[in-house]
Amino acid sequence: MSRLLLSAVLNTYNYGCFIEEAVESVLAQDCPASEMEILVVDDGSTDDTADRVRKFGSRVRYLYKPNGGQSSAVNLGFEHAQGGIVALLDADDVWLPGKARAVLEAFAANPSAVMVTHKRIVWDAATGAADEDEDLPVLSGAFPPTATDLLRHAASSTSALSFRANLVQPLLPIPKSLVLHADSYLIALSVLLAPVVALNQPLVRYRIHERNLFQFAKAEQERAQNRLRWLREFTREIKAWMSSHDFDLRDPALAAYAGRFDLIEQTYRFSAQGASRGEFYRHLRQHARVYEPLWTRRYRAYRMLLSLAGFILGYERFTGLRKRYRDSGAALRVRKELLPARSTEVALP
């Protein structure tokens, strides 16, 4: 049996300008070199990534592959990882001090857990602004999950995910069609395999920059359309895995869980293509039907009024007003104080 406790798997594509900082953040962890390996999976970079990684010598294993997208890179990392725990890191992010130890301790305290996730420090490279994630409404520990657990389940991005290598195998390899959303695939399905654990502390710095694929709201229309296409493929693959592993999507709890992903897909479709009043109203009502089990009666009535407002105002005007409302911290706080949805807020997809 391998002595390695942890495999840090960094996936990268033309992020040579970031890769050294990412590797150094892993090397700085309080985990002995004899117990931790570092793998850099290069998804076909054409920049100076290889030269920068070679500076670290034998301390880092460098795996180069033709460009194939996030899923293929993560799959190769899992294939070559020798540690009992596999922790992921995007090359443009960095682990914070104590990350490795906290993750290992969480898995040791929860021997049946398949995944550990945690909060992030979200850092805007252009402005220097840094904010901590709000508390994650994450299912932690319970298995099998109830309908309420599934609706509350969430997790962070790639760099905040770690997996017990032997338990995550039923999800591997991640479908090659998922050029993006390999991390979301693992998050969505891990909860159906075994308990998951959420640490309410930031252990990674998530970098926002102009090349970040997930900051597509300000990007060109083509990128938004591509993201929509990948989201559709993600939703299809999630449902396909559930069906092929005897999860009956006619079960109300599983139907609601799968419905979450339909809602997310719709949200991005509207963002890319717009929506008619009828489409948007049906979307808001579908959202209510999925999440109503978590809501108080008063909040359900409030959301019904919002659905009607969405129909009257139309998609563009409604979402514009909602953005102004959300950007106003005072207005949001007042709503939560006067009309709490439930003990733990679940954000709109």
Neighbours of 98 (CB within 10 A): 14
- What pLDDT is stored for residue 136 in this prediction? 73
The mean pLDDT value of the chain amounts to: 90
pLDDT band, very low/low/confident/very high, at 212 (cuts 50, 70, 90): low
CA contacts within 13 A on the Cβ side of 157: 24
pLDDT at 298 over 60: yes
DSSP state of 233: H
Tokens of 152: 């509350």
- What pLDDT is stored for residue 276 in this prediction? 97
Listed range (151-160, 161-170, 253-262, 315-324) with the worst mean pLDDT? 151-160
Q: Which residues contact 251 (CB under 8 A, 6 or more apart)?
A: none
Residue bearing the bigger pLDDT, 346 or 18: 18
Residue bearing the bigger pLDDT, 304 or 2: 304
Mean pLDDT of 124-132: 85
Quick check: helix, strand or coil at residue 244?
helix
pLDDT at 12 over 60: yes
Instruction: Report d(CA 72, CA 58) in Å as an integer.
Output: 24
Mean pLDDT of 279-300: 92
- What pLDDT is stored for residue 215 in this prediction? 46
First to last CA, the chain: 42
pLDDT at 52 over 60: yes
Residue bearing the bigger pLDDT, 230 or 114: 114
CA-nearest of 74, 221, 101 to 159 is: 74
Give 86's strand partners: 7, 163
pLDDT at 93 over 70: yes
Residue bearing the bigger pLDDT, 207 or 330: 207
Instruction: Report d(CA 88, CA 183) in Å as an integer.
Output: 9
pLDDT in tens, 163-209: 999 999 999 999 999 988 899 999 999 999 999 999 999 999 999 87
Return the H-helix or E-strand segment holding 161: strand 161-164
Q: Assess whether the previous peptide bond of 173 is cis (omega < 30° from 0).
A: yes
Instruction: Estimate the share of the chain in helix, then strand, then coil, as percent rounded to the nearest 5.
Output: 50, 15, 35
Q: How big is the chain by its Cα radius of gyration, in Å?
A: 21
Which domains are delineated in the chain?
Answer: 6-208 (3.90.550.10), 216-273 (no CATH), 277-341 (no CATH)
Q: What percent of the chain has pLDDT over 70?
A: 92
pLDDT in tens, 132-176: 987 676 778 888 888 888 988 888 889 999 999 999 999 999 999
Instruction: Check: CB of residue 275 under 8 Å from CB of residue 315.
Output: yes
Q: Assess whether the previous peptide bond of 144 is cis (omega < 30° from 0).
A: yes
pTM of this structure? 0.89
Mean pLDDT of 54-79: 97
pLDDT at 216 over 50: no
pLDDT band, very low/low/confident/very high, at 272 (cuts 50, 70, 90): confident
